[in-house]
Amino acid sequence: MGDSGQFRSKLELDDARVTLAVDEVTRLVAAVFENLGCAPAIAREVAEHLADSNLCGMESHGLMRTLQYAEQFESGYLRADAEPEIRVNDAGATLVDGHGGIGIPAMRLAVEEGCRLAGEQGVSAVAIVDVGHTGRLGAFTEWAAWRGFLSICFGGGGREKWRQVAPHGGRRALLPTNPYSIAVPGGERGPVMLDFATSKIAGGWIYAARSAGARLPDGVLMDPDGNITRDPEDYFRGGAILPAGEHKGYALALAAEIVAEAMLGPTTTEGGWLLLTLDTTRYREPTALARVAEEILAELRDCPPAPGFERVEIPGEREREHRQRTRDDGIALPRKTWEQIKRLSERLADPRRQ
């Protein structure tokens, strides 16, 4: 990862970054979504989620997505006026229906309902359907873990619209990035949280690189002829992202696609998700769980680092540490990306547009 001061990113930039106050950029982005037709509460929720993703070092799911979401709202791909709701189908399954809107408030509603149901009955399953992009999954599973729940969330089903990743052994993009997130209560420093695409890089990093005029890390992308490339434009020319862990990432992506499309389908908007939530207090008292978890985590942190590494890290702690380091300093956005967001904001606020 490259560093810009205290900021970590996968992008290799030739241009500078601009540092922005969190409240300032959040207000501007929320206004963008309101001007596109989102309810004020949803506009603010989405803007805060994107800003927090940047603070956590997850630029691929951060404020750069403002440009993507705006394009999707204006094209009609997403409904700006949609609000998610909970429903139970004829077979008794709980679903959150996003009604074709942005997926961030739908996923938040799902994790709240999943925790409520798991608190009552020990375990719950909630499907999330007819939604657009759901943002950074780890933000939702971690929220549940702070409250004593183990949560597992994964999804897919968007292969017809989002052919991004080649299957292991292939060179044509056939599957979405189909991410997984798992979070469980941890030790003294908070939950252990995994959040990963089943591809070598999240699709958002490619859009972030294109927006910023940056290069991608080596070994994550191939051009239409199957040659490894660092140029994000090769992806848009028909290239493909490589699966993470070769056959392992491919298998995980395929399992998520089958669940989302064959089990939850038919797929509408962007895809479907399954959220599984378990009340950990049904198995062990919280302080005992935290004590044993901390023993495990402390031993791993104390492991001598291998050559090329500074230390052994615990999944989830990097994001929280990054947020703590950068919150007061602000959000460092690539200059080109920030200029695009500002131009979008000015265009949408122009009274002649009404």
In order of start, what are the domains of the chain with their CATH numbers? 82-199+247-329 (3.30.1370.60)
Average pLDDT over residues 15-19: 87
Residue 134 has pLDDT above 70, yes or no: yes
| Residue 202 pLDDT | 86
Range of lowest pLDDT (58-62, 102-106, 108-112, 175-179): 58-62
Average pLDDT along the chain: 94
pLDDT at 7: 56
| pLDDT-based confidence at residue 353 (cuts at 50, 70, 90) | low
pLDDT computed for residue 350 by the predictor: 83
Look at the pTM and tell me if it is higher than 0.75.
yes
Q: Are strands 190-196 and 221-222 parallel, antiparallel or unpaired?
A: unpaired
Question: In angstroms, rounded to a whole number, what is the distance separating the alpha carbons of residues 177 and 237?
Answer: 18
How many CB atoms neighbour CB 237 within 10 A? 11
Q: Which two tokens stand for residue 168?
A: 């292991």
